[in-house]
Amino acid sequence: MLAVAQIDYIRHEVNQKGESYADVSRRVEVDPRTVKKYANQEEFRERKPQKRYSPVMGPVKPIIDK
């Protein structure tokens, strides 16, 4: 996944300046399809890490954490 700064750069170059996907992809060193994906994306949502429940550790986790 690209950094937020790279995504902002891609969106600015394609949408504001009118650069082609291929030109921007060469500068950022990513696939042109990736540039197209982020340039056409309406809203950027940063993913949050998932919390997973581990049923095997459930009963003993408080003991281990101590």
Tens-digit pLDDT profile for residues 19-59: 999 999 999 999 999 999 999 988 767 778 888 776 777 78
41, 62 Cβ separation under 8 angstroms: no
Q: What is the pLDDT of residue 44?
A: 67
pLDDT-derived band of residue 60, with 50, 70 and 90 as boundaries?
A: confident
21, 35 Cβ separation under 8 angstroms: yes
Cβ atoms within 10 A of the Cβ of 12, count?
A: 13
Question: Is pLDDT above 70 for 17?
Answer: yes
